[in-house]
Chains A and B, each alone.
Chain A
Amino acid sequence: MTTVDALEDMDEPASRAGNGLALVATANMRARRAPRGLALTWMLETLMALAVTWPLAAWAKAAYGGHPEGDEPLFRPGGLALLELLDHTVGHVKPLLPLPVVITGLSALAGLVVYGILVGEMTLVARGRDDEGPTPAPLSALALRALGTFAPLLTLLVVVTFLQAVLVAGGMGAAAAVASQVEANLGEARASQVGGVVGLLGMGAALLLGLLHDVARAEVVRHRAGAGLALRRAWLRVRQAPLPFVGSWAWRGVAKVLLLAIGALAAERLGGRSGLPLLALAVVHQLVIAARLALRASWIAVTVRAVDR
């Protein structure tokens, strides 16, 4: 049972899809099946970016929109105009600081629904009529299903974020404690370096918890599990085969960093001051964003396939 043509052979999860939806074979649960989900994710990121940066951009436009070369002074080597603009902006932007916080929060919440849609699109298809094959699941149906998993996903998000904060803070505290213990023997700088390693362990633990979170989210959406059950199941799955999980997550993380480096190199080479170079740079930047998004989606697909076994 590996193809969507054998729906009648699928086990319980297939029949549970309901709403005229059917599950695809595990091996076919891929990110490339979810173009609409990917597009929605990109839109969400971009809308959030636009909302957060709008006040800054508006302020810059008010200051330099009347310049014959527009914002060119802000990018001049030396940074005088940029520094002055930032210095004059800070006081005025402070009252607006809650805005990006609110937008970030709303974006995180919206992201839970988009996640559900993304996973749904990877895993489900609409049952076709008698003589037709399956078709992409309707977005409305996917959204409805996603709303059904919002609460446990939100619970997971809150709990895991809190635990990650504790791990990072704990790591920093342990780093400071270790550094002060060894300072007398190693000296201040080397003690700080040792402490830094300890702090990195804390961050590493937080990252691993994030990996666990990703698997748990897949459990929630695939099996409609509650937050607690999803976390337990995720822990069991990861514990069974930790290295493949970590490896799969890690290489994608490295690739995402390399993409950033490519973007930086492109900025250096293209310059992107105006006209065609700027357009080219914008395209390169969006390709970097899209590629990073694709890597993230492929990791999500890995977690979905993992919980589907």
Chain B
Amino acid sequence: MALGGAILAVRSAAASLEGPVLAAPDLAPTGLNVAPQLSPLTAPAFPSLAPSPYDSDESLPAHAERVADYTLRARLDETSHVVHGEGTLTFRNVSPAPLSELWVHLYLNAFKNETSTFFRDPVGGGFRGVMRPKEWGAMDVRSFTLRQGPGIAEGSAPVDLWGGAEIRRPGDTDETDVRVPLPAQLPPGETLTIDMVWDAKLPSVILRTGFEGSFHMVGQWFPKLARLEPDGHFAHFPFHHMAEFYADFGTYDVTVDVPERYVLGASGPTVEAKVEGGRRIERHVLDDVHDFAWTAWDQFQVVRERIDGVDVTLLHPPGVRVVGQRELASLRAALPHFRERYGRYPYPVLTVVHPPEVAAEAGGMEYPTLITTGGPWFGPPGVFAPELYAVHEFGHQYFYGLVATNETAWPFLDEGVNTFAELDALGAWRGAGSVVSLLGLEVSDAALHAVGGGSAAQVEPVAQGAATFANGLDYARLVYSRTGSILETFRRTYGDAPVRAALGRYARKYRFRHPGPDELLQAFEETLGPSAREVLRVALFERGWVDYAVLGIRDAEVSDAAGLFDGPAGRQKVSPGGREGGARRREGWALLARKGTLRLPVDVRLALSDGTSRWARWDGEGDTVRIPYSGTAALVGVVVDPDEKVLLDADRANNHGSPSGRRGSMARTWERLVFWSQLAAEATAP
């Protein structure tokens, strides 16, 4: 890469403490000028930021390909907490292969007993849902009949499919992943229609769904067809503890029937609503989605607001109004931000559900056009937890909702990419104090994720299936924080424009589709080049890590060689100590190391005794580099990554150095610590 005369290219060298010496292409051979300022990395450093059709919303598809349409009716029995469901599934075989079976998720059976895969998973600490529910849940399919499809002659009776269904795998007790053989193969392009009747017994709130008192959060409540992959196989899986969901797009036409006094919130707009026979009945219809959830509670307070052209409904418990307003305020910033970055939000509505604290496990979740937040009714004004919650869950409308990746196989694609989207949005809104801005302390969301994700970076890879993580804490740190930090490091290091272009194009190109990791990598290669793609791949798939360190620094006064010198001006005598009238010179060097497997470009600042700085950039190639210095001021220090661009740096405490004997001032730290400790000491003082 070349950025004018200010860039110094690093040549890779055999591992040696000496290291290669930075050389500038147009400098005098006797000295090395390090440019006083570094030009920011801009587009010319990268192959192409030529316009792409995916830079604008004109490229967005109007609708998803409809694969699985559901027309459902749900009636809630508030006493038994059972949702009685009836409905129709219309499924089209959009693959090139004939299908001889279907796979159906019965997610609620994960909470049926302790022999489910969910409870048998050795999750360990650091993740929710580890407690046994006070009341178990289940999904009982009463009827699953093929009304129209392969092997069904017109006018003939529907065929029961459930009798031949394989609810459990041989030797396994889990009942969340059901194989349903078809009486005949469904050819490519053909459609089948299934009528189903079931009862969803809600558990007490666990992992996002269930009931607590009269509060009901109803997610994964119907027999749900597994996603049909392009090659004709179903991406089915038992419900693992740390896994989420994956399904095809379609239309959901759902009628929900609850007791009259309940307030109802559901995916999609309300197209019909009535109160009849002591029941509140609402019909919601939503196109271009792959899931549907709803909530009902007799204590919800309702707030409505139109934000960026979207009708937003906030449902919150009594007494939580102030926090609810904070959530709405964050959405006022988030909706236009996400629209600009990732394309317009295609749905007319958004429902935000703030569950009561007693049902906190129902919080922090996303469904198409419905998100759940959470948290207590109080919160210090300078700690932006409610805002972070709301922005993160809204972001999932894009990464998971519109870009419908396989959350079980590649959780980082939705949680991690969305974490980057969250910290980017919060940073744009609140700046350096995007998580905490209190009593002069400012903490950013990016910093929080950088530190949190770094602690697990070398334990296991980010890019792996949800079920294969060692424990919940690693999952959370790697899938959320590490991924977010990787992408934020790319943005800071390579530039905002190319990273924004990469993700924006990815989000628009794969709207209503189901991309995998390769598509994400490809998007970055298109704007950042193949070497950046390789860095991203290593970071995600190979426990990529980096630690830039200062190994040494040297600075000394030098003088000209003594003796008689003949030159154009005649013979000059140089005494030891330099030419008469000449300025003293100083020379030195800073020796840096790059530990780890990631090769990220990094800025280096040389601090001089006259208060100025000189800058250089190391492209990260090689294990070490020696940066020479020559000038009249003394070299008093070196700082690698002074602007904190490389969030992935495993240890920032070794990013700096000074010549021996020089110590930077810690007076400010002492002053603050002593003051606050003196205040605390008043508790024991006379």
Q: Do A and B come from one complex?
A: yes
Q: Is A76 an interface residue (CB 8 A)?
A: yes
Query: Contact at B442–A45, with CB atoms within 8 Å?
Result: no
Q: Is A67 an interface residue (CB 8 A)?
A: yes
Query: Contact at B665–A189, with CB atoms within 8 Å?
Result: no
Query: Contact at A41–B685, with CB atoms within 8 Å?
Result: yes
Query: Contact at B686–A85, with CB atoms within 8 Å?
Result: no
What total of A-B pairs shows CB separation below 8 Å? 215
Q: Is B666 an interface residue (CB 8 A)?
A: yes
Query: Contact at A272–B677, with CB atoms within 8 Å?
Result: no
- One of B54-62, B448-456, B562-570, B575-583 at the interface: B448-456
Q: Which residues of A contact B685 (CB under 8 A)?
A: 41, 44-45, 107, 111, 114, 293, 296
Query: Contact at A278–B671, with CB atoms within 8 Å?
Result: yes
**Which residues of chain B from 651 to 674 have any CB-CB distance to chain A below 8 Å in the complex?**
651-653, 656-658, 662-671, 673-674
Q: Which residues of A contact B669 (CB under 8 A)?
A: 57, 60-61, 71, 74
Docked Cα-Cα span, A71 to B668, in Å, equals 7
Task: Give the contacting residue for B681; candidates A48, A65, A118, A286; CB below 8 A.
Answer: A48
Query: Contact at B444–A118, with CB atoms within 8 Å?
Result: no
Query: Contact at A53–B673, with CB atoms within 8 Å?
Result: yes
Query: Contact at A187–B443, with CB atoms within 8 Å?
Result: no
- From residue A130, how far is it (CB to closest CB) to chain B in Å? 35
Q: How many residues of A contact B (CB 8 A)?
A: 73
Q: Is B158 an interface residue (CB 8 A)?
A: no
Query: Contact at B664–A66, with CB atoms within 8 Å?
Result: yes
- One of B117-125, B184-192, B325-333, B429-437 at the interface: B429-437
Task: Give the contacting residue for B443; candidates A79, A114, A263, A292; CB below 8 A.
Answer: A79
- From residue B481, how far is it (CB to closest CB) to chain A in Å? 12
* Chain B 673-686 interface 0/1 with A at a Cβ cutoff of 8 Å (1 = within): 11101111110111
From B444, B657, B671, residue with most partner A Cβ within 10 Å: B671
- One of B282-290, B312-320, B538-546, B622-630 at the interface: B312-320
Query: Contact at A64–B451, with CB atoms within 8 Å?
Result: no
Report the nearest B residue to A196, measured CB to CB: B378
- From residue B158, how far is it (CB to closest CB) to chain A in Å? 47
Q: How many residues of B contact A (CB 8 A)?
A: 62
Query: Contact at A49–B432, with CB atoms within 8 Å?
Result: no
Task: Give the contacting residue for B665; candidates A48, A70, A193; CB below 8 A.
Answer: A70
Q: Which residues of B contact A207 (CB under 8 A)?
A: none
Query: Contact at A192–B319, with CB atoms within 8 Å?
Result: yes
Query: Contact at A78–B447, with CB atoms within 8 Å?
Result: yes
Q: Which residues of A contact B358 (CB under 8 A)?
A: 188
- From residue A30, how far is it (CB to closest CB) to chain B in Å? 16
Query: Contact at A49–B678, with CB atoms within 8 Å?
Result: yes
Q: Is B28 an interface residue (CB 8 A)?
A: no
- From residue A42, how far is it (CB to closest CB) to chain B in Å? 8
Query: Contact at A272–B607, with CB atoms within 8 Å?
Result: no
Docked Cα-Cα span, A107 to B685, in Å, equals 7
Task: Give the contacting residue for A79; candidates B299, B442, B668; CB below 8 A.
Answer: B442
- From residue A157, how far is it (CB to closest CB) to chain B in Å? 9
Known contacts: A46-B674, A118-B686, A188-B317. The answer to whether A64 contacts B666 by CB under 8 A is yes
Query: Contact at B317–A84, with CB atoms within 8 Å?
Result: no
Q: Which residues of A contact B451 (CB under 8 A)?
A: 80, 83-84, 87
Docked Cα-Cα span, A162 to B15, in Å, equals 64
Q: Is B636 an interface residue (CB 8 A)?
A: yes
Query: Contact at A268–B319, with CB atoms within 8 Å?
Result: no
Docked Cα-Cα span, A162 to B253, in Å, equals 63
Docked Cα-Cα span, A50 to B674, in Å, equals 6
Q: Is B639 an interface residue (CB 8 A)?
A: yes
Q: Is A285 an interface residue (CB 8 A)?
A: yes
15 A-B pairs (CB sep. < 8 Å): A44-B685, A60-B669, A64-B666, A65-B663, A68-B637, A75-B668, A77-B431, A79-B442, A85-B653, A104-B684, A107-B684, A111-B686, A187-B318, A260-B679, A272-B668
With contacts A44-B681, A118-B686 known, what are 17 further pairs, Cβ within 8 A?
A: A50-B677, A57-B666, A60-B666, A68-B607, A70-B664, A71-B668, A71-B669, A77-B432, A80-B447, A83-B448, A84-B652, A107-B684, A111-B684, A187-B319, A188-B319, A188-B358, A189-B317
Residue ranges of A at the interface with B (Cβ–Cβ < 8 Å) = 37, 41, 44-46, 48-50, 52-53, 56-57, 60-85, 87-88, 104, 107-108, 111-112, 114-115, 118, 186-190, 192-193, 260, 263-264, 267-268, 272-274, 278, 281-282, 285-286, 289, 292-293, 296, 300
**Among all A-B residue pairs, the 7 with the closest Cβ atoms:** A189-B319, A68-B637, A70-B664, A49-B677, A77-B432, A115-B686, A187-B318
